[in-house]
Amino acid sequence: MTKLVLVAKDAVFHCARSRRSTFRSSCVFGLVDIVQPSQVQVSSHRGFAALISSLQPEARQLRSVFAAAGHKFAATTFIMASQNSRPSSDMAKFRECFGRAKHIVVLTGAGVSAESGVPTFRGAGGLWRKWRAQDLATPEAFADNPSLIWEFYHYRREVMSSKSPNPAHEAIAECEKRLKPLGRRVVVITQNIDELHRRAGSENIQELHGNLFKTRCTKCGDVRVNRDSPICAALAGKGEPDPKAEDARIPVEKLPRCQKGSCGGLLRPHVVWFGESLDQEVLRQTSEELEKCDLCLVVGTSSVVYPAAMFAPQVAGRGVPVAEFNIEETPATDSFGFMFQGPAGQLLPRGPGCQ
């Protein structure tokens, strides 16, 4: 099967050409569509639609105009590269790349923390009480029932306080520590909110989705670290995940409140909820790191969550080696130079040479 990788400034698409001359597009936004050779149509959970006209498999460059609700996409040149090879699993070759790299970016997702026993709230049985995480992790849910949402996050904070970094976190942190005196930089860009990278010793961290142990005031916007357990007296002993547990129905005035001066505003977890935009400063710094890196490691990610799913394919698109460490292949696997399959905690200490 011939793989066609379309790389753009704002998006990346991976298309596998079948014998029937149709394309299955595994978009970095996490969607799978059947696409005809003459047309690509993509939609996303963020609500925008894009149309690439006159797709010709032989073309080297394509012009495309994106019509995007809330997004400013101009006419974009797509570079289409035909690749027939699968990612390498040659650890010796990867070590050579690692040995030459001066600026290493490590992209991490839920798979890293799962090895520490962190609940993912995904798949069958991934509920808190009777709720799915995506039903609770929204600004609308917080506005409607802040007591319930704080119970959920109090439970998650208490669980995370009992977990420890695993060998994958430790290997990444050790790489940063060992390479820093040599003038080599290691940066973690994580989708996780659990702070396990920091607890393992990593210092250069970009937290795309926020931090479970930070709060933000809904009134004055003050953000600060808060590791209190419980975060407020009214939440002590609350948050039981049992479906039969009753909601605490805590009065809003007894929920976590802002301590900045005399503000007293209602606090919320400093995390990115569904429907919210990522912090622009975090995105700016992340973009700078990705532009500078000469090696990228993708560890424990599903490669379906936008915009993080774009990062590694974009890096690969400019010729930088990308190595994936995961228990299974993802929609982006075929665009990478290396793929090492298995638990990250077992692979990473051997891979990056951070024993």
DSSP type of residue 138: S
**Is residue 166 within 8 Å of 345, Cβ to Cβ?**
yes
339 assigned to some structural domain: yes
Single-letter amino acid, residue 346: Q
Structure tokens at 143: 């506005």
| 284 and 303 inside one domain | yes
314 assigned to some structural domain: yes
| 38 and 140 inside one domain | no
- What pLDDT is recorded for position 354? 55
**pLDDT level of residue 50 (50, 70, 90 thresholds):** very low
Catalytic residue among 154, 197, 209, 270: 209
Distance CA(95)–CA(100), nearest Å, equals: 9
Where is pLDDT greater, at 354 or 120? 120
- What pLDDT is recorded for position 112? 92
| 172 and 146 inside one domain | no
This prediction has a pTM of 0.76
| 191 and 251 inside one domain | no
**Is residue 112 within 8 Å of 205, Cβ to Cβ?**
no
Q: pLDDT for 267-326, tens place per residue? A: 999 999 999 999 999 999 999 999 999 999 999 888 877 788 889 999 999 899 999 999
**Is residue 41 within 8 Å of 33, Cβ to Cβ?**
yes
254 assigned to some structural domain: yes
Which residues carry a binding-site annotation for Zn(2+)?
217, 220, 258, 263
| 105 and 128 inside one domain | no
Instruction: Indicate if the pLDDT at residue 69 is higher than 50.
Output: no
Question: What CATH code is carried by the domain that includes residue 174?
Answer: 3.40.50.1220
Instruction: Indicate if the pLDDT at residue 52 is higher than 60.
Output: no
Number of domains in the chain: 3
- What pLDDT is recorded for position 246? 92
Rounded to 5 degrees, what angle do the CA atoms 85, 344, 197 make? 125
Q: pLDDT for 191-220, tens place per residue? A: 999 999 999 999 999 999 999 999 999 999
- What pLDDT is recorded for position 125? 56
Instruction: Label residue 319 left, alpha or beta by phi (over 0 means left) and psi (-120 to 50 means alpha).
Output: left
| 77 and 130 inside one domain | no
132 assigned to some structural domain: yes
190 assigned to some structural domain: yes
| 317 and 186 inside one domain | yes
17 assigned to some structural domain: yes
| 307 and 340 inside one domain | yes
Taking residues 10-14, report their average pLDDT: 39
Which of residues 271, 291, 314 is at a domain's end? Answer: 271
Query: Is 209 known to be catalytic?
Result: yes
| 63 and 151 inside one domain | no
| 240 and 258 inside one domain | yes
| 334 and 355 inside one domain | yes
Question: What CATH code is carried by the domain that includes residue 143?
Answer: 3.30.1600.10
Range of the domain at 10: 2-83
Which residues carry a binding-site annotation?
109-128, 153, 156, 191-194, 217, 220, 258, 263, 300-302, 326-328, 344
- Residue carrying structure tokens 């973690």: 188
Q: pLDDT for 144-175, tens place per residue? A: 999 999 999 999 999 999 999 999 999 999 99
Which residues carry a binding-site annotation for NAD(+)?
109-128, 191-194, 300-302, 326-328, 344
214 assigned to some structural domain: no
Which residues are paired to 185 by β-bridges? 103
65 assigned to some structural domain: yes
Structure tokens at 74: 């101009």
| 182 and 320 inside one domain | yes
